[in-house]
Amino acid sequence: MKKIQIFDSTLRDGAQGEGISYSVQDKLSIVRVLDDFGVDYIEAGNPASNPKDIEFFTRLKSVDLYHAKLCAFGSTRRKGVRVQDDSNVQSLLATETPAVSIFGKSWDLHVEKVLCATLEENLALVYDTIRFMKDAGREVIFDAEHYFDGVINNQEYALKVLKTAVEAGADCLALCDTNGGTLPHIIYEKVKQVVELFPEVNVGIHCHNDTGCAVASSIVAVNAGAVQVQGTFTGTGERCGNADLSTIIPNLQLKMGYSCVNNDLTGLSRAVRHVCDISNMRVYKARPYVGDSAFAHKGGMHIDGVTKLSSSFEHIAPETVGNVRRFLTSEVSGRTTVLKKLERVAPDLQRDTPAVTQILEKLKELENNGYQYEAADASFELMALKILGRWKEHFEPIIYRTIGEYPPPNGERSASAVVCLKVDGREETTAAMGNGPVNALDNALRKALTVFYPELSQVRLSDYKVRVLTGAEATASMVRVLIESTDGELSWNTVGVGTDVVAASWEALCDSFEYTLLRKDRKNL
């Protein structure tokens, strides 16, 4: 199996994505995730750019890595400054990383209009910086910035820049589609040209996603002979982002037979979620291989097929990349879907069981009224258990009341809520403040229930969505509320529908706490 080097730039190029801001501890945590997963290079940042990166590189010196090679990033020396006197170059040396990534201009337009240098001056900048780093014992990856725009507009000069880098001792030529505008067939042609012209060095590819082709372009570059793929683990980066390594790695390894990180990709989904959590991002549901929807099936025929033979509607087994198969419930669901969804709580159900028909009919009725159970598995399970007569109510809501004030009297908490409920004949009434009526209601309901069920103090809302269903009625429209809850280990989703957003939220909140208690009962069986 041919080895493809994986070069991750999450902490440098990825950190330049909109809405991304890493603390030093965040960066150290991501380094550990990437190293554990097995990437070859971690581009840790630009030590000359800000105090945070300086501290980060200082702390990295005491971090032992098992697999990855740390790489500091910086530019060629400045025009008019000797390489040994350039503070940016010296800061790269001070990091003591075994590898450095040096970016330099390969597009004549940038040399003359942005760098304001002559073409010959730029060649000297490239040569001097790489040679200096090689003499200092560093592995050098030369990032040929704007290479594809450069080679299209002035092929002779772009190739001369690469030749200069090779003569200076560069270990790898990383061809950068910096503007992200080059299409895959051009990428293939130009990478193949460089591979054939410079067989003595490794060739890498660095793509941005401005045409939505970063993953495809990276893959065709490997087909053309590139042996290093640069990107970010979750696709973050400037503008539309960088090539997404979480898609590229399984494509290369599972589909094309290359060796990338290791022979075991079962940690891929977990690693992506960990990086997304640190980045304060949600994993995009439709993300290939690792998203929640990657192996989710909704159509009755699809579910029936994959139940009989998984490969009939799945290109790989989900566990190969650490993901799981999901069956979505909706008005297009069939008996197979219901049986699969309920096999954990009602394994005795058969296709011809009358209750299965009742559940299907109720499901279609409720979805016609605005409910959406494909995104609310917990509420579906509760509904089905009630129809099956296997439902034990853990609390009986009696009444709730919310009051809102504007402007809020204390600056933040703009609402209060009173909740009255009954558990085993014992009544409990509590009140709480909140930032809005739903937050106040959540706080009051939790406060009342923890009197009877202390374990509910660990449950919290992790996401809250409201969707208007019938816009014609304006502010009296029907709305659907979807709530995601978590106890720190598992997450579950519940739904509520009504013309009153607070009432719909109350329904979803009650389902969330009921589902938590249902799970507790199962554990105690």
**Angstrom distance (rounded) from CA 226 to CA 231:** 14
How far apart CA 115 and CA 212 sit, in angstroms, is 29
State the helix-helix crossing angle for 354-368 and 335-342, rounded to 10 degrees: 100
What count of other Cβ atoms lies within 10 Å of the Cβ of residue 155?
A: 12
What angle in degrees, to the nearest 10, is found between the helix axes of 501-524 and 377-388?
Answer: 70
* pTM for the whole structure: 0.76
Question: 87-94 and 119-135 helices cross at what angle (nearest 10)?
Answer: 30
Q: Are 493 and 376 in contact (CB under 8 A)?
A: yes
Given a contact cutoff of 8 angstroms between Cβ atoms, the answer to whether 395 and 518 are in contact is no
Q: Which of 176, 510, 199, 469 lies closest to 376 in space, CA to CA? A: 510
Give all domains of the chain, ordered by start, each with its CATH number: 5-263 (3.20.20.70), 396-524 (3.30.160.270)
Q: What's the burial of 220, exposed, middle or buried (CB within 10 Å: 0-12/13-18/19+)?
A: buried
| Nearest in space to 239 (alpha carbons), one of 180, 175, 280 | 180
Task: Classify 205 as helix, strand or coil.
Answer: strand
- 444: CB partners within 8 A, 6+ apart: 400, 417, 418, 419, 430, 431, 432, 434
- CA distances 139 to 8, 93, 133, 492, Å, are 16, 12, 8, 47
Per-residue pLDDT of the chain (525 residues; tens, 9 = 90+): 799 999 999 999 999 999 999 999 999 999 999 999 999 999 999 998 778 888 999 999 999 999 999 999 999 999 999 999 999 999 999 999 999 999 999 999 999 999 999 999 999 999 999 999 999 999 999 999 999 999 999 999 999 999 999 999 999 999 999 999 999 999 999 999 999 999 999 999 999 999 999 999 999 999 999 999 999 999 999 999 999 999 999 999 999 999 998 778 999 999 999 998 889 888 888 999 999 899 988 777 787 788 888 899 999 999 999 998 887 766 556 677 777 777 777 777 887 788 888 888 888 888 888 888 877 889 998 998 898 888 889 999 999 999 987 777 666 678 999 999 999 999 999 999 998 899 999 999 999 999 999 989 889 888 898 988 765 555 567 899 999 998 877 889 999 999 899 999 999 999 999 999 998 887 765
